[in-house]
Structure 1
Amino acid sequence: MSDLDTIDVSHINFASTVFPTDDDMKLWHSLSPAEQRAVIARKVEEGLQSPPAQKASKAEIMGEVLAEMKHDL
């Protein structure tokens, strides 16, 4: 077990998964370096444990995005 495994970061959640919001940046900068490393390690582990992405063409992806956009309107 590494030191990162002993740091509880389960309560730390960011609003954005791609581009950090101002609040996300404030939260990130409020964390200690050890907490930042633990958050990164948690996200890496989540990615490794998730199923592989299904292959899709650009056209399929764009079709899904456009369909979602129309649905949200």
Structure 2
Amino acid sequence: MSDIETVDISGIKFSSAVFPTPEDMELWESLTYEQRKAVEIRDEEEGFRSGVAEPRSMSKIIAEAKAEMNNE
């Protein structure tokens, strides 16, 4: 069984993923690598559930993010 580390991103909210403000960019830069990957996974899953993202792209992005986290 592998160890799974939980990353708390519950308080991380951006005003826009498409047009980030300077404040959004500052917040992004302040995140750890693990927090950034967790935010990417969360946002892609939210996009999929809303119908914005295609299932294939969601699966691919989540798999890539998880693979990167496992390689670090």
- Superposition TM-score, scaled by structure 2 size: 0.59
Which one scores higher on RCO, CA 8 angstroms, separation ≥ 6? 1
**In percent, how many aligned pairs have the same letter?**
47
Structure 2 unaligned regions, length at least 5: 54-72
Note the aligned Cα RMSD (angstroms). Answer: 2.3
Query: Rg: which structure is higher?
Result: 1
Return 5+ residue gaps in structure 1 as ranges. 54-73
Number of residues paired by the alignment? 51
Q: Which moved more, 1:43-52 or 1:27-36?
A: 43-52
Query: Counterpart of 1:14 in structure 2: which amino acid?
Result: F
Secondary structure, aligned partner of 1:48: helix
Q: What is the TM-score normalised by the length of structure 1?
A: 0.59
Residue number in structure 2 paired with 1:58 = none
